[in-house]
Structure 1
Amino acid sequence: MRKITLANGRNIEVDCLSCALTSGAIEPDGGVVVETEYFHAHQDVAYPIRGLIIVASKRHITSLDELDEREKIDYINLLTKIRRAQRDILGIEYVYYFYNEDTTHHFHTWMVPRYEWMYHFGRSIESVRPVLLHARNHMNTGEHLSEVMEAIAALRQELNK
């Protein structure tokens, strides 16, 4: 078991945080945005950026090449559906997509929106970490968290029609 402190300050003990999230044992702040047979999408509110979505596999795998054919189809369809909702519902013009294989969590993809304020940190892939750190360290205010929660609700409504 690992001891983990969640974004809301709550301490939990789990074998795998992703297993706990995707199984519903732990509810992410703001709730699940959308779920399919193979994937779970939510926002990590520790990074209060409106429209930032994490898509995680329900199966305990770490790499893209471990997805079976049904999971691959579900994955690309879900990413496409979320991206369309980000654009249509939240007006998000650009998104960075990230996934890495050297994680202790399940295979997951971060969909990080690009906003005008972020260009202060640069325009390349190298700017994303400073943007995330800035959001975590300086944007955890009522106003930003409220915007994030409203975006989660709007995306959930659109994606679960």
Structure 2
Amino acid sequence: MRKIILSNGQTVEVECLSCALTSGVMEPDAQVITETEYFHAHQDVAYPIKGLVILASKRHFTSFDEMTEEEKMDYITVLTKIRKAQRNVLGIEYVYYFYNEDTTHHFHTWMVPRYEWMYQFGRSIESVRPVLLHARNEMNTKEHNEEIREAIQKLRKELTKM
């Protein structure tokens, strides 16, 4: 079991966070954004940044080359739709995408938006960790979390139309 601190400050113990989220055992702090047969998208539960989306596989695997053909098609389709919705309803101009294979979670892609306030930490990939920590430590307020919930609702509505 792993202990994970959520953005709301709660600590949960789970074998696999992705399994818990994609199976519905644990609800993400701010609801599911969209779901397909093979993937589940939610606001990241640890870092309260508006529009930061985690796209996770429902099946437990960790690498691109382990995807079935159906999963590959679904992945690129849903990833593209989420990005379009981020741009259309949240005005997010740039996104950093991350995926790593040495994780204990399922295959997942982080879609980290770039906002103007983030540039104080730099403009390269090296700035992402300080941005995430700043969000977790300094932006975890009731008001900010409400803005995130509103953004999720906007994304959900837009994705439902697509």
Normalization by structure 1: what TM-score? 0.94
**Equivalents in 1 of 2:73, 2:9: separation in Å?**
36
Q: Deviating runs (4+, > 6 A) in structure 1?
A: none
Total equivalences in the alignment: 161
**Equivalents in 1 of 2:15, 2:135: separation in Å?**
28
Partner of 2:148: 148
Indicate conservation of the 8 Å contact 1:47/1:132, yes or no: yes
Q: Tell me how large the CA RMSD over aligned residues is.
A: 1.3
Partner of 2:123: 123
**Equivalents in 1 of 2:120, 2:10: separation in Å?**
32
Letter in 1 for 2:71: E
Partner of 1:20: 20
* CA drift at 1:84: 0.3
Q: Deviations over 1:29-60 (max 9, x none)?
A: 11100000000000124311111000000000
Indicate conservation of the 8 Å contact 1:45/1:148, yes or no: no
- In the alignment, does 2:69 pair up with 1:72? no
Give the direction of change, closer, same or farther, for the CA distance of 1:70–1:86 in structure 2 (3 Å limit): same
Give the direction of change, closer, same or farther, for the CA distance of 1:12–1:107 in structure 2 (3 Å limit): same
Letter in 2 for 1:75: Y
Determine helix, strand or coil for the equivalent of 1:160.
helix
Give the unaligned 5+ runs of structure 1. none
Give the unaligned 5+ runs of structure 2. none
Indicate conservation of the 8 Å contact 2:62/2:106, yes or no: yes
Q: Deviations over 1:94-140 (max 9, x none)?
A: 00000011111000000000011111111111111111111111111
Indicate conservation of the 8 Å contact 2:5/2:46, yes or no: no
Determine helix, strand or coil for the equivalent of 1:135.
helix
Indicate conservation of the 8 Å contact 1:46/1:140, yes or no: no
Letter in 2 for 1:71: E
Normalization by structure 2: what TM-score? 0.93
* CA drift at 1:11: 4.2
* CA drift at 1:160: 2.1
Indicate conservation of the 8 Å contact 1:16/1:105, yes or no: yes
Letter in 2 for 1:16: C
